[in-house]
Structure 1
Amino acid sequence: MGFTPHAIHQRYQYRKAISTRPYNARGKNLLRCEACLLAQQFCTCEFRRQLDSNVSFLLIMYDDEVLKPSNSGRLIADLIPDTHAYIWSRNYANRKLLHLLNSPHYQPYVVFPSEYAKPGQAVVESVTQAAQAEPLTSTKRPLFVLLDGSWREAIKMFSKSPYLHQLPLLSFTPETAARYGLRKGSRDFQLGTAEVAALALASAGEVANANSLNAWFSLFIESSLFSRSRKSTLDLSPLQDLQDAFELSLDRTP
């Protein structure tokens, strides 16, 4: 890798090391970059830039999610410096994960739909709203907890993790997303992990960083599609346009 591995790179290497057999993802015969997991000819690592952010992320990842080339959680760690990641276990809670959630320096928010809130669990739509309700939270660094896996896996992780049930939920509706202007027309409002992270950034007032993460996500999606297509070498202009769009978004960050 041409840069220091971040938390998800570290989890990826660990999970691969303990696997008893190779993870056979779609396009398993592709020669992939070990950092971004895209086909080597469409690697995006040279464009990666870390942002200046006042928020943090914690990704709790379902078992083999970190091995999937399609995982968008790694995009968060690409851009946001203080990003943590742990692989979820049903049988025990990672000690370092619990220490992070209980740190006096962080105010954790589980980013999850409000309809799954446990009795008495606080639900907020923005970090600003939470700070107004609990002034002490405004002195702590927001820590957005994302459950990274399929929707069914995310529900299972939330349900089977009691240590998450006492934390406030940060919940977004389609109307909330529309208000931030970061995404339009999501079918059934099912967002990728990186898109949810962009909403969380916007809720904390970091709209420029949210736009950069969305641009990075768009570049990742297009690069993934090019990796799968036999015709992808004929016209690279869509990729080049998205690369330019991402660079432009960086110029607009404070």
Structure 2
Amino acid sequence: MGQGLVVNRQRFICPHCQLHTNICVCDQCQAVANRIPITVIQHPSEVGRSKGTLRILERCLDQVQVVVGESPKQLQRAGLSLADLNGNSAVLFPGPTSQLLEEADTSAISHWLLLDGTWRKAAKILHLNPQLATLPRFHFAHPPASQYVTRKAPAEHHLSTAEAAAYLLKTLEPGLDVQPIDTAMAALVDKQLAQIPPELRNHYQKPGDP
């Protein structure tokens, strides 16, 4: 193959999110000045996945920390000491003892933890880290319909990580404008749908589409 036919693939990779420009939405990500900090525990299997939405939060939120790990040792190395967490921190993940976020008094909670991974992988993070189970735990009573139609969810009421964070902050900080997250999510879905053959796109209809 001649030198003139060699394509420099790096030219098409975003230096910020490391995704191909065909699905990069960094130019759609605007600042969201959240007052309440969020820590996202990302399962190692999610790192590098092109369908992940955590990159949107990293680009938008003023106060967000991402730690990658599954076991306590991995989380410790990533900068999260579970032993230092107390009742001022809470986990957003449904369970037998979780409370309805919209109906609960969350005024004492100043730090939220979200889990980024498949349902099974997120549950495993909780199982491997008993200290997380000692924290107050919440789930959504009336979440909006997910627009992330290009990635299969376990159930209709499940949201992507970016959507969950946006709804969480909208509930906790009513004056906060989380529209930049929603805009970036919509752009991501549109770009992903554009990569799907036209004859197959009807399998990925957004809620409310005819």
With the length of structure 2 as denominator, give the TM-score of the two structures: 0.72
Aligned to 1:188: 156
Aligned to 1:102: 85
CA shift for structure 1 position 107: 3.0
CA shift for structure 1 position 153: 0.3
CA shift for structure 1 position 215: 2.1
Does residue 66 in structure 1 map to residue 28 in structure 2? Answer: no
Aligned to 2:201: none
Give the counterpart of 1:129 among 90, 105, 119: 105
Give the counterpart of 2:124 among 156, 165, 170: 156
Task: Specify which structure has the bigger relative contact order, considering alpha-carbon pairs within 8 angstroms and separated by 6 or more residues.
Answer: 2
Matches within 5 A, 1:227-238: 228-229=195-196
Matches within 5 A, 1:1-12: none
Aligned to 1:40: 21
What is the one-letter code of the residue matched to 1:163? Q
Mind listing any 5+ residue stretches in structure 2 that lack a counterpart? 1-8, 148-152, 199-210
CA shift for structure 1 position 41: 4.6
Does residue 87 in structure 1 map to residue 68 in structure 2? Answer: yes
Aligned to 1:146: 114
The structure carrying a bigger helix percent of its residues is 1
RMSD (Å), alpha carbons: 3.2
Give the counterpart of 1:78 among 59, 71, 74: 59
Distance 1:194 1:36 in 2: 15
Does residue 113 in structure 1 map to residue 94 in structure 2? Answer: yes
Mind listing any 5+ residue stretches in structure 1 that lack a counterpart? 1-27, 132-136, 232-254
SS at match of 1:53: coil
With the length of structure 1 as denominator, give the TM-score of the two structures: 0.61
Aligned to 2:135: 167
